[in-house]
Structure 1
């Protein structure tokens, strides 16, 4: 990935973004507290034949740290403005984890017509329903423990270390890899990370996911560990949207060749 640029999404709030390659546009949106750097393997692969864009959401990475707007409704509006700023026509949106809510938020803001397709990575459209039959990110006790850990910088480091080892990646991480993952997340202050967490868990984008299911080519890439709950949930609510099972929560980084092949195949069906 090369040198990025900055875009002022509103007065005093700049978003850092990367924009490489030429061709039909793909926009990759990093999840909770992470940055464009997580998509290094996707930039290298897809920018050969596509215009590939990603950005650091507000309060994440190199973008402006702010006290307000650390939620996925605002992040969706920021993404819409970036799409307009770059003049992207009919993009494919790819949201990882909580950023799946961001791409469904684009549908809430603008409908499905301006988009070519949507790919969401390992995130249900209503992340915390309280219903045991649903595919959710956590159960309520797990969500409470995760949120409480974010009250201090040390707690933030510790919970992301656990999450990286137990949820994100299936193999043993080297110390350098673990340090990089933790530093990615903790570049967002713990109070902003907590605000994003609360916004995520109290979101419900199932109506937007259903709109995509009816009107657009869509794909869920789901971690193997989520399959038991995700597959019946998706069949019940979103039967027209494709599903692929692959690896852990960070599968596009851990298994880039397999993930890129899945996304290549999805994009080929859009032609």
Structure 2
């Protein structure tokens, strides 16, 4: 069991695993598609010295219950609200990474920003898919995204192949050691391929542009973007979340590869 590990029941038969350590103003970290609390271990180590740090395994991820229903970001927003309520968190900073950003925006859609102190969105567009991929900030051209869904999420072997390629080409800039790559891939495979496919589609078809603007208008907001698409992404953020601060750092997993720089950026932001 992790330090501070506990389970929170969000509905009959469904428990969400959280790591809850430290004291002070709460920061809630939300991992992306199929990833787990483990990915934020360097942030837990750093921020627990000054803050209460809560990290969530969303449903069907990591140590949380694997379910056949609710594998979408509307339900993840509901689950997040129940975790925040159960832990009696007030004046929260939400840090969503990748599809974890969708969970934060969905929470805002359902609950507004009254219990939010600040927001950090790590490397995801509020509209991940568009036919205008040459101008909008999207995950990729429509045909490529369709191919991932129809080809690479049909069984566990293909899921492993996809995550391996994504980790190597997009998530990390340096060459990964074999044990590091295995660690990344094994996190993802804790979510069954049929659930991963559902989450992938739910995320790709999401549109949170209204919530992105509302968030940046109402509370301090920071968007951290990977270097490989920074120019396109910065323009999109400036259009749809005009009051958000913007930082550019590393690849998609920059908070793991460049943890000291990432932690400094977030620390400066939440202390401002």
Q: Would the TM-score normalized by the shorter structure come out above 0.5?
A: yes
Residue 248 of structure 1, aligned match among 247, 251, 257: 251
- For 2:145, the equivalent position in structure 1 comes to 143
Distance 2:241 2:270 in 1: 19
- For 1:39, the equivalent position in structure 2 comes to 40
Work out whether 1:112 is the aligned partner of 2:116.
no
**Correspondences of 1:83-94 after superposition (within 5 Å):** 83-94=84-95
- For 1:211, the equivalent position in structure 2 comes to 214
Q: CA deviation at 1:3?
A: 4.7
182-191 or 125-134: which moved more? 125-134
Q: CA deviation at 1:14?
A: 0.5
Distance 1:115 1:244 in 2: 21
Work out whether 1:180 is the aligned partner of 2:144.
no
Unaligned stretches of 5+ in structure 2?
Answer: none
Task: Count how many residue pairs are aligned between Structure 1 and Structure 2.
Answer: 269
- For 1:261, the equivalent position in structure 2 comes to 264
Unaligned stretches of 5+ in structure 1?
Answer: none
Distance 1:130 1:74 in 2: 26
Q: CA deviation at 1:26?
A: 0.2
Length-normalised TM-score, structure 1: 0.98
Length-normalised TM-score, structure 2: 0.97
Distance 1:138 1:196 in 2: 17
Distance 1:233 1:126 in 2: 10
Residue 238 of structure 2, aligned match among 235, 239, 252: 235
Q: Deviations 1:37-94 (Å, cap 9, x if unpaired)? A: 0000000000001000011111111111100000111001000000000000010000
Residue 156 of structure 1, aligned match among 150, 155, 159: 159
Q: CA deviation at 1:228?
A: 2.1
RMSD: 0.8
Q: Deviations 1:90-109 (Å, cap 9, x if unpaired)? A: 10000000010000111101
**Correspondences of 1:7-26 after superposition (within 5 Å):** 7-26=8-27
Distance 1:41 1:5 in 2: 19
The runs of at least 4 consecutive aligned structure 1 residues that moved more than 3 Å come to: none
- For 2:172, the equivalent position in structure 1 comes to 169
- For 2:51, the equivalent position in structure 1 comes to 50
Distance 2:168 2:26 in 1: 33
222-231 or 248-257: which moved more? 222-231
Distance 1:3 1:113 in 2: 27
Distance 1:224 1:17 in 2: 30
Distance 1:241 1:212 in 2: 9
